């Protein structure tokens, strides 16, 4: 499976952006798989943002986005979304979507497939 992320851009602090990530039509996502979003700011480690269990839709968030970001998925479209509200300048980063085949994890090393990143820039 291949992943394609889109939807990044620029926003003012307090604004909103929605990121999308679509899996290739040739790939299959199983109910046990986890789709996640990570981000990496310049000079910083890649960090977990949110993830969703594909089958039942359980969601998990990092503390710094909880209440502001919402992850969701559309199984028919093989897509996962990240709705980002109340954006802050510190949310500025390249955002990546990824797939973990071995179950829930916040560790980027345990994700098997990565999409190309999409830049999110939030100005104050």
- Assess contact for 113 and 102: CB atoms under 8 A: no
Q: Write down the pLDDT at residue 26.
A: 80
Per residue in 57-101, pLDDT (tens digit) is: 999 999 999 999 999 999 999 999 999 999 999 999 999 999 999
Tell me the C-alpha distance between 85 and 12, whole Å: 11
Q: Which two tokens stand for residue 92?
A: 């500025």
Instruction: Give Cα separations from 109 to 41, 69, 86 (angstroms).
Output: 17, 23, 29
């Amino acid at each position: 499976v291949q992943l394609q992320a889109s939807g990044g851009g620029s926003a003012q602090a307090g604004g909103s952006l929605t990121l999308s990530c679509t899996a290739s039509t040739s790939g299959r996502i199983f109910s046990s798989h986890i789709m996640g979003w990570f981000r990496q700011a310049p000079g910083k480690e890649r960090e977990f943002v949110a993830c969703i269990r594909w089958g039942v839709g359980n969601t998990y968030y990092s503390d710094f986005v909880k209440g502001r970001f919402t992850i969701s998925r559309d199984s028919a479209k093989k897509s996962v979304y990240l709705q980002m509200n109340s954006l802050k300048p510190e949310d500025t980063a390249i955002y990546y979507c990824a797939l973990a085949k071995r179950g829930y994890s916040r560790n980027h090393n345990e994700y098997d497939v990565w999409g190309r990143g999409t830049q999110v820039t939030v100005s104050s």
